Amino acid sequence: MCTLSWVYHGNTHYEVYFNRDEQRARLPAIEPQNLIIDGVNCVMPIDPVGGGSWIATNEHGVTICLLNFYQGDTPKGELVSRGMIIKRLASSSSSQMVERRLLEMDLSCFAPFTLVPFDTRRSANESVVWTWNGSTLVRSHATAPIVSAAMHFEQAREFRVTLFDALTGSIERDKLGCQFHHTHDDAAPHLSPLMKRDDARTVSFTSVVVSPNQQTMIYRSFDDDHKIDFQSSLQCRNHDAIQQGVFK
């Protein structure tokens, strides 16, 4: 399972929040890195298994998020890691460019996924989600939160949407994302945004703050007790790309 949500503060300032849930046997991710892709400064964590990522932001104020879409049909043949899609799109100067590039890609080598782009030129009402179901790419309106799950999908989505809606009406907008994504309910550990199952758990929380003069990614990794065991904050910078990072 993974969970994505976002909050827009007008048209020029937004925040994105992403909980990454993984199998316990999967290698830990590399903390967010500064990378220069096509001459554009980008920040993203790296999945050491596939070499790609699930979230990236860049100096143009564009953020891209990708979740697995387990309800689709996986294409036949050799597959490429879905995380490489983020790397291919990370240098885009606008959400519209992300979408043009995505439409031009041959997706037949990728398992199903959901992709959501953000920038400072769109409002919350203009958020778009793209879904590749293994044979067709579909564009639709995006509303937070978006949930990805191979197990208990309907229950998890209902639980998290209900929680998000309840928090939206009870706390300040600038606290909504962290409160929602750090919620663990002992009565429903497998459905909570901060999830825990015998075979999988939430391994990290990534948030992105974007305004006309700031692109900051905050990354937190969790131990098995949902305690933060590592945290970093990184901004897009104009310097040589970092090729390697520390496994966290």
Q: What is the pTM of this model?
A: 0.93
Pinpoint the alpha helices (H) of 9-152.
83-89, 95-104
Q: Quick one: pLDDT at residue 245? A: 39
Residue 164: its pLDDT value, please?
Answer: 97
For the purposes of burial, counting CB atoms within 10 Å of the CB of 137, is it exposed (0-12), middle (13-18) or buried (19 or more)?
middle
Q: Average pLDDT, stretch 174-198?
A: 96
Average confidence (pLDDT) over 131-147: 97
pLDDT value, residue 238: 55
Residue 243 pLDDT: 42
Rounded to an integer, the average pLDDT of 208-220 is 93
Q: Which of 244, 248, 243 is nearest to 232 (CA)?
A: 248
Task: Give the residue-averaged pLDDT of 12-27.
Answer: 93
